[in-house]
């Protein structure tokens, strides 16, 4: 017989968390292992026989650390919810005040009414890959920024030599750090055969090379295997947004962009290459153009189709086959 669920709303901060339960005033706890234990003990005293379901917003490392700690306890579930959902829910309730204790009550009400799905952490290798590719992309952007700055400085005849030397030194340092991160990515793939096989699987798709494959896997994380195709597309921010009302309002549809823009960026170049060299995507793209679709919309549709195909490849553990994945 399944146990009933007792919800606890948790607002997470860097140093402390606020928790709310039905019939009790919100309480604060330290955001530490000891604080997580005290929060669980308080919840268990109130509800000794039910499954405790903690609900919190996705707040990066602070919330994830707490969620992992709470999941280590028996008869405990945790949901990590998109903050935009909580914000919209609070507006729907016409909440005027915003404090940590009030937020914890809003999260509690959201959990009780919406019953969010339990969260589980992604595999450690996927988590590490996500962190590494995120750092690599930040370094690449910084290198480009300093290259642009150096180019601008090269046209200044009266620029002090110390600034020129500083520009060059910073670029050298950033490039060395990027090389270290790329080596760490290669080492992770060597150490984890499952991750390496997944990268090779994605590289069987004509249009995707290793650099794009590791970023698609890293930024999609467990969404590739744990979510439906529709939810995965939304995760990438490629889901369409329609705006229609009555007979007079028929705005042009566009992608929602309520997702990870880094995953969209990782799919963009593979889509451009596949539109030329991959027969499945090339035929799909040409068919969209023939039907009157704009080029930007057709490219976005190709990105979406590629993502769904990659998901199917990973779920079936089979390389790309144009006869099957068409």
Structure-block tokens of residue 155: 């046209």
Query: Does residue 251 carry a pLDDT above 90?
Result: no
How many Cβ atoms from other residues are within 10 Å of residue 276's Cβ?
A: 11
**DSSP class of 121:** P
Helix count (H) and strand count (E) of the chain?
A: 13, 7
Long-range contacts of 252-257 (CB under 8 A, 24+ apart): 255/300
Instruction: State the pLDDT at residue 98.
Output: 84
How many Cβ atoms from other residues are within 10 Å of residue 142's Cβ?
A: 16
**DSSP class of 2:** P
CATH superfamily of 5-114: ATPase, nucleotide binding domain (3.30.420.40)
Instruction: State the pLDDT at residue 253.
Output: 55
Q: What region, left, alpha or beta, does residue 246 occupy, with left being phi > 0 and alpha being psi -120 to 50 degrees?
A: left
Q: Model's pTM, two decimal places?
A: 0.85
Residue 57 contacts residue 86 (beta carbons within 8 Å): yes
Using pLDDT thresholds of 50, 70 and 90, give the confidence band for residue 243. Answer: very low
Instruction: State the pLDDT at residue 326.
Output: 61
């Amino acid at each position: 017989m399944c146990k009933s669920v007792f919800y606890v709303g948790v607002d997470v901060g860097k140093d402390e968390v606020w928790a709310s339960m039905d019939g009790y005033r919100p309480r604060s706890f330290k955001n530490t292992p000891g604080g997580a234990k005290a929060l669980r003990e308080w919840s268990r005293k109130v509800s000794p026989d039910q499954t405790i379901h903690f609900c919190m917003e996705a707040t990066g490392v602070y919330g994830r650390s707490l969620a992992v700690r709470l999941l280590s306890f028996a008869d405990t579930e945790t949901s990590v919810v998109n903050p935009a959902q909580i914000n919209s829910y609070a507006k729907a309730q016409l909440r005027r005040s915003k404090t940590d204790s009030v937020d914890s009550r809003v999260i509690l009400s959201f959990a009780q009414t919406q019953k969010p799905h339990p969260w589980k952490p992604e595999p450690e290798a996927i988590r590490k890959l996500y962190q590494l590719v995120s750092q690599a992309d930040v370094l690449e952007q910084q290198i480009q920024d300093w290259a642009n700055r150096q180019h601008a400085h090269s046209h200044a005849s009266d620029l002090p030599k110390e600034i020129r030397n500083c520009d060059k030194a910073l670029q050298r340092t950033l490039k060395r750090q990027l090389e270290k991160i790329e080596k760490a990515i290669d080492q992770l793939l060597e150490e984890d055969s499952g991750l390496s096989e997944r990268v090779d699987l994605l590289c069987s798709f004509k249009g995707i090379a290793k650099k794009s494959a590791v970023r698609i896997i890293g930024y999609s994380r467990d969404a590739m295997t744990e979510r439906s195709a529709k939810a995965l597309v939304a995760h990438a921010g490629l889901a369409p947004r329609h705006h229609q009302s009555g007979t007079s309002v028929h705005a042009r549809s566009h992608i929602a962009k309520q997702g990870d823009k880094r995953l969209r960026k990782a799919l963009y170049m593979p889509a451009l290459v596949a539109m030329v060299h991959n027969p499945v995507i090339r035929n799909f793209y040409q068919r969209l153009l023939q039907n009157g679709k704009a080029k930007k919309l057709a490219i976005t549709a190709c990105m979406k189709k590629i993502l769904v195909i990659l998901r199917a490849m990973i779920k079936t553990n089979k390389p790309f086959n144009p006869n099957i994945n068409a």
